Chains A and B, each alone.
Chain A
Amino acid sequence: MTSWSLIIYCGLITFLTRFSMIALLKKEMFNDRIREVLSYVPSAIFPAIIFPAIFLDNSGVLDIESNPKVIAAIIATVIGVLSKNILATIFSGLISYWMLIFLFNF
């Protein structure tokens, strides 16, 4: 498969995952119970991207002891919960990460 056709297929898959439920589901198909469980979707999906990116090294091996990303992520979480501010969360995480690797040679 050429790079171009591969990209087009990936684009189609991406579009169809976004489109299918919107096109197929009807309003009546949802009761309060289902809606309540679905409200947990962000909490269920984002950690699947966050945790591996923080706890695993480049080769996919668990790294907790000598890992500046873990410390920076903890700082970002604390700042985030206290401030409820998206940007404060991201920048406190990035800045503490840079301090750890550049100033403290973590």
Chain B
Amino acid sequence: MNNKLKIFSKGIFDVSPLMIPVVPFGIIFGVLAIDMGLTPYLTMAMSIIIFGGASQIIFLQLFSSGASSLVILSSVGAVNSRHLLYGAVLSEHLSGLRLTWKIIVSYFLVDQAFIISNDYLKKSKDENKYFHLLGSGFTCWFIWQITTFLGIILGSIIPAKLGLTFAIPLTFLALLVNDFRKLINVIVIIVSGTVATFGYQTIPFKAYVIVAALSGLFVAFILTKFIGKKND
């Protein structure tokens, strides 16, 4: 097996455990979209063109409540703002790539792929290490399209009272379990979560996501300055 394929496969393998919660998430999206009156084509197109769970769910919520295009666009932008930070974190590993590869990698840069491949990119010295991100990102893409399709088919079969949307915060919670062991991270988590909860209604355009994240990062900036070394 050549080196690129090997790293690509490792990306697929490493991200796989994170795909199990994505399955209900994708199905929920498909079911919700059909439920809210979108055509199957539009629903499928959203998963291919936008390819971002949180953005698509926010889109649905606002679209169905009759929000204006401007509100929808700025909300999707706010929810996506975390990708600016992912890109900033990853750019040091990807700065040597050709533009075409940067474009391809960017399309596949979702939460789960970022979490998994960022770890790998930090450790690996291989010149083809970005194939790990392609492997994990492609896996997310593939699962997302299949489960969106399943959701469209399943439509109204899944009972709403099962409360499957609760799998969404649980997925993100699961991504943070290692951070709960470190004091600074716990403080950052509490600050960000509290700002988001109380800003949810008061901060316009659903921009509570970015306001909360920046508050958390600001606290991290201050705390790491005084405590000095990262406590891990």
Residues of chain A at the chain B interface (Cβ within 8 Å): 1, 3-4, 6-11, 13-15, 17-27, 30, 35-56, 60-62, 69, 72-73, 76-77, 80-81, 83-87, 89-90, 93-94, 97-98, 101
Contacts and interface: CB of A to CB of B under 8 A. Distances in A.
B102 A19 contact: yes
Contact of A15 (B95, B106, B163, B214): B106
Given A73-B170, A86-B174, A52 B196 contact: yes
Given A44-B188, A50-B172, A21 B166 contact: no
Given A50-B169, A60-B200, A45 B209 contact: yes
B196 A51 contact: yes
B177 A41 contact: no
B52 interface: yes
Given A37-B220, A41-B85, A90-B167, A49 B172 contact: yes
Given A25-B87, A26-B95, A14 B196 contact: no
B176 interface: yes
Residue in B45, B82, B90, B115 with the greatest tally of chain A CB atoms within 10 Å: B82
Nearest to B164: A94
B106 A48 contact: no
Nearest to B50: A11
What 9 A-B pairs have minimum CB-CB distances, sorted nearest first? A21-B87, A44-B216, A51-B193, A47-B193, A11-B49, A80-B177, A19-B106, A53-B169, A40-B220
B230 A41 contact: no
B55 interface: yes
11 contacts: A7-B49, A9-B69, A22-B91, A22-B106, A44-B217, A45-B216, A52-B200, A69-B169, A86-B174, A89-B173, A93-B173
B121 interface: no
Contacts of A35: 92
B173 A80 contact: yes
Interface of chain A, helix or strand or loop or mixed?
Answer: helix
Interface in B50-72: 50-52, 54-55, 59, 63, 69, 72
A50 B171 CA distance: 9
B35 interface: no
B76 interface: yes
B211 to A, nearest CB: 8
B163 A13 contact: no
Contacts of B177: 77, 80-81, 83-86, 89
B166 A30 contact: no
A52 B213 contact: no
Interface string B137-172: 000000000000000000000000111011111111
A46 B196 contact: no
